Chain A
Amino acid sequence: MMEDIKKYQKAEKLKKQREETQAIPWYYDGLENLCDRIHPGSQLLKITDIKALSHDTKLFRLISAKKNKPLAPFRAGQYIGLIVEINGVRTSRPYSIVSSPNQLAYYELGIRKKEDGFVSPYFFENAKVGDIFEVTEPLGNLSYNSMFHGKDLVYIAGGCGITPFISMLRDISERAIPLNVSLIYGCLTEKDILFRDELEDMQKRRSNIKTNFILSEPESDWKGECGFITRDKILNEIGSIKDKYFYIVGNLPMYQFIKEEMKELGVSKHRIYYEAFGVPDDITQVMGWPTEINSSKKVNISIKFRKYSKTEKIEFEAYCTEPLINSLERTKNLALYVNNGCRSGECALCRTKMISGKVFVPPEVTIREVDKDFGFIHPCISYPLTDIHLDLTLT
């Protein structure tokens, strides 16, 4: 027994010795560099090139605006949140990276002009070479996951939803990754097809990549497939659904259509990934929307926020049919930017405390249980149904 006690005394002595012989250290945080490269939080980018991709879509090439700061690596399929200030309103929109993940000299974004949109028309008309923008680090969960996606992949894209797939296909093609891909790309007309030459070229060069264009409103001289992306067309293209993994990128009406087709095909839920598409164009069309709410109804939003050491309050009106974050951003005298990334309720960057009120959140969005219990919301995907009281002093 005394032997053990002696060992303790020895350990005590050893500890002292260890402390004494330790050279005076200097601070070195070894993971800081890698962390800063992979998760820089935000990046400053400069436009170096703008090119038309189609009649309503432009390709923007962006490099790092800081000399010694390389761009963050990303997984093919990820997006960045582009932060813009328009007439004093600071807001952001997520855009998929089109360029290959195998080079980090630049990112390329394909941005389609949405006629009634807020950011894309501005960006489309005003952005010019040399402009500097703040963007988020690469975000998003759309990417190849070798743990379970398998070897046979089906990409289904609608319109501008092709952008992440271009990056994914470039990656597969450049590194000759042994994955079999069937791309089914639906557009309105022939002139809406983006990256057509490149896709056709890739198909020629790589036996594992197959592409098929389907036009819903083709001109009379179109020789390819027509109509919607139906189950028959999918099955015709891929043969069987066995061991296939499906990635779907498009807009809400397309998702609603494809979901039915997938169900009919018998594809299990866990073999499909639907990329977040931002907020729906018309929230009142989303399942679960309380139909008794008039779509032009306005509610009162009151906000507590901190300006230096003082807590201030403001009130303003907001439409029920608009996400809270948009109304917040438009309140210029608030001069407060709610951090955000995905604008789809996924990334949780905009998490905010709601003291009182009722919001509508589309049913497919999952919010953490504790957040529900303790009154936290994601304003990017929350629609105010009643008067709302928010506390921004916490955030």
Chain B
Amino acid sequence: MVNSVYDENRVISTSPVIVIGAGLGGLGAACQLVLRGETVLLLEKHNVPGGFATSFVRGRFEFEGALHELSDIGTQDNKGSLYRFLERLGVVPNKLRFKHIPEFYRSVYLDGFDVTMPLGVDEYREKLIELFPAEKKGIEEFMEMCGAVLKGIKYIASKGGKFKPQEVLKEHPWLPRISGITLSELYNKFFTDKKLISLISQLWGYLGLPPERINAYAFIAMLIFYLNWGAAFPLGRSHSLVNAMVEAFEKLGGEIRYNALVNRILVENNKVCGVELLNGDVYKCKAVISNVNPICTAMKMLPPEVVPDEYKKKIYAPEIGPSGFSVYIGLNRSYKDLGLTAHETFINEKYDINVAFEMFNKLEAPKYIVAACYNHIYEDISPPGTTQLVLTTLQMGKLWQSVPPDQYFHIKDEIANSMVTLVENTICPEIRENIEVAVAATPLTYYRYSKNIEGAIYGTTQDVTNGPLLRLKSRGAISGLYQVGAWTNFGGGFSSTILGGRIASGMYLKDKIEGRW
């Protein structure tokens, strides 16, 4: 039989729903679906699951690819929502163990200012007051506001999305209040000290925009989640979290296929009817959950005529966020000897974050980097007596579009080298002579493995018009298509994308019951 949409002879199987991509969002969605008893096929283009959540080996070091501090895990008496999700999957406590990171972050400036901030709302507040006694009142009010935001988020979560806006406005006014302003505008209500603002904002690299541009809700939610539930790291690196999720998914009846690059989403009568792989294999289905970024999904994988212009405009309107530039370093010496005293260290040249942000637009030495040293909490992450240190900064991927291919290695080496120099000048003067392995990843590297437009690691930026409330939602360009991943729902980050994937599953199930497609 000839079918105009696909070749009947190449049909391999039919399943109700297909998830494209075993990244964190795709896995979150797929796991939630099998938990609800759905039959799911998960297609992954790479030969390993996880997307950015991966690891790789160089010499005798196995490097963590992406994860710094996992939020939303919590403790036995105060479980975070990600932990509870993993619990339902049967991943924790038996298949995966977490190490808790004792401190929040260390912050270092080129002028010598060097402080380590603790986790816990009270501890964090007291440390800030100790450092900036003149701003005591503002700090207390600020932290109170953070607490109120957390209450609001918990309230909305408890209602499962069904809440009255009026009630939120009355009971949790801070929630709507911070949804439409920048973080700077929010700071102005509490304090003015530039140093204090810089110190609280250190996590801005996790979202990719400076306080003057970032949506206050996105930042405050992240901050308070860390303070309340702490930060953790999975034993076996982020890839063991992913593999444990895949194992749970398969145990619950899900099927995963690797080296399966989906080339086209097949559409019949404006409805999803299947997917076609690059090699021509066809898998039929009624719905697709796409972990591929929405731009690629809508503009490349779908037939162009089925995507409404409104949707195209919608996915292109927000600004595409930064990509990453990382240097993975294996040191032939213990972190204790080298003076690397914290798990997560933010290294800044100046207090003004805008200056550092400007560097995201240049192929030059960065002025803000994050140094993650895993050995403190996870001694075995590298061989005895050695240290694993990962330096990361952010950079706009589009800068690399105009790099001549024969200059690529040269520019890459220059930037990587400047990052090592910044570490040399601040937290670890002896770094260079102890390096055993050093390898850099550019936005092109991030692009290569994710195929995200411009190698963006957090999807679109979370500016005022694109915060968690206003971001692209899971329902995709056409009926039966759903989007997950950093580009949608709560945005980037490990727990945000995994839990955001659950939302897409919820919508799929709702639409299925209501017979929308």
Contact = CB atoms under 8 A, between A and B. Distances in A.
Interface in A343-364: 346, 348, 351
A145 to B, nearest CB: 6
B273 to A, nearest CB: 18
A34 B444 contact: yes
Contacts of B55: 368-370
B237 interface: yes
B205 interface: no
A8 B465 contact: no
Contacts of B408: 34, 38, 73
Nearest to A268: B332
Contacts of A34: 400-401, 403, 405, 408, 444
B434 to A, nearest CB: 7
B58 A141 contact: yes
Do most interface residues of chain A lie in helix, strand or loop, or is the interface mixed? loop
A178 to B, nearest CB: 15
A270 B435 contact: yes
Contacts of B329: 147
B313 A25 contact: yes
A201 interface: no
A179 interface: no
Contact of A4 (B181, B258, B309): B181
A298 B215 CA distance: 65
A332 interface: no
A73 B56 CA distance: 23
A368 B397 contact: no
Contact of A369 (B13, B237, B413): B237
A351 B47 CA distance: 8
Contact of B313 (A24, A73, A309, A367): A24
A31 B454 contact: yes
Contacts of A176: none
Contacts of A314: none
A277 B471 CA distance: 51
Interface in B295-352: 295-296, 299-300, 309-310, 312-314, 316-318, 327, 329, 331-332
Contacts of B236: 369-370, 373
A8 B165 CA distance: 13
A7 B470 CA distance: 13
A20 interface: yes
B327 A147 contact: yes
A243 B243 CA distance: 42
Given A30-B401, A368-B62, A270 B438 contact: no
B394 to A, nearest CB: 16
A10 B180 contact: yes
Contacts of B406: 73, 104
A11 B470 contact: yes
B453 interface: yes
Interface of B: 10-13, 47-48, 55-62, 169, 173, 176-181, 185, 236-237, 239-240, 243, 247, 256-259, 281, 295-296, 299-300, 309-310, 312-314, 316-318, 327, 329, 331-332, 397-398, 400-401, 403, 405-406, 408-409, 413, 416-417, 420, 432-436, 438-439, 443-444, 447-448, 453-455, 464-467, 470
Instruction: List 3 A-B pairs, minimum CB-CB distance, nearest first.
Output: A8-B180, A270-B436, A270-B332
